[in-house]
């Protein structure tokens, strides 16, 4: 399992890790905690909860998501290459606090709404600085794949996410529909 980077949040440290089948139940608990809300940053979920609940279905999800980071992979229609990371606390590395998806390029949809980086923190782990630390690590990963600036978006009514993006250097370009669009320069 590749560890992408470490960042402090308060007195603690988080790490971004690549998905692994070893954390199936922990990931599922994190994902299900969102309930009916969108689990931003958890990746393109074309898998049903029923399939993700099975070890075989989850292994398919992890294998597929890991392959999407490889530029040689031929992507399904409408998707772009992306690297998926899970957010864990170094003090409790088997507890998934959230997820971050780094899209390597933008298609028309991502340019309007999704951006290069999507992230989500499970509801029980919010308001601790985890999203800010995870986004900072995502920006380091974006630099490592050669991006010079990234688009990060959030819903217009998501004040906490807007503040997170701004703390990480985001400059508001505009609002399109229900999405606030921020660019972050990496150079």
Asked whether the predicted pLDDT for residue 180 surpasses 60, the reply is yes
pLDDT band at 21 (very low <50, low <70, confident <90, very high): very high
As a whole-number percent, the residues of the chain with pLDDT over 70 amount to: 93
Lowest pLDDT segment from 23-32, 34-43, 82-91, 174-183: 34-43
Average pLDDT over residues 65-85: 95
In the prediction, which pLDDT does 137 show?
96
Asked whether the predicted pLDDT for residue 1 surpasses 60, the reply is no
In the prediction, which pLDDT does 5 show?
63
Residue 175 host element (H or E): strand 171-176
Asked whether the predicted pLDDT for residue 3 surpasses 60, the reply is no
pLDDT band at 10 (very low <50, low <70, confident <90, very high): low
In the prediction, which pLDDT does 183 show?
98
**Extended strands (E) in 18-157:** 82-89, 92-103, 117-121, 149-155
Asked whether the predicted pLDDT for residue 113 surpasses 70, the reply is yes
User: What would the pLDDT profile of 130-168 be if each residue is shown by its tens digit?
Assistant: 999 999 999 999 999 999 999 999 999 999 999 999 999
70 three-state secondary structure: coil
71 within 8 A of 105, measured Cβ to Cβ: no
Total-model pTM: 0.91
User: What would the pLDDT profile of 36-58 be if each residue is shown by its tens digit?
Assistant: 888 887 776 677 888 999 999 99
CATH 3.50.40.10 for the 3-185 domain, yes or no: no
Q: Find tokens 């308001």 and name the residue.
A: 127
User: Could you give the angle at the alpha carbon of 112 between the alpha carbons of 140 and 15, nearest 5°?
Assistant: 25
143 within 8 A of 110, measured Cβ to Cβ: no
């Amino acid at each position: 399992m590749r560890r992408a980077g470490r960042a402090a949040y308060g007195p603690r440290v988080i790490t971004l890790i690549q998905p692994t089948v070893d954390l199936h139940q922990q990931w599922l608990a994190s994902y299900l905690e969102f309930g009916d809300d969108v689990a931003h940053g958890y990746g393109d979920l074309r898998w049903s909860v029923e399939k993700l609940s099975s070890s075989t279905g989850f292994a398919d999800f992890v294998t597929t998501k890991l392959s999407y980071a490889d530029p040689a992979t031929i992507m399904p229609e409408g998707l772009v290459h992306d690297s998926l990371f899970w957010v864990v606390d170094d003090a409790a590395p088997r507890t998934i606090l959230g997820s971050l998806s780094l899209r390597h390029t933008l298609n028309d949809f991502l340019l309007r709404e999704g951006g290069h980086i999507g992230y989500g923190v499970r509801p029980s782990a919010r308001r601790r600085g985890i999203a800010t630390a995870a986004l900072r690590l995502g920006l380091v990963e974006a630099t490592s794949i050669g991006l010079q600036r990234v688009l990060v978006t959030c819903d217009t009514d998501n004040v906490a996410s807007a503040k997170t993006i701004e703390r990480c250097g985001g400059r508001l370009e505009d609002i399109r529909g229900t999405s606030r669009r921020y660019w972050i320069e990496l150079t």
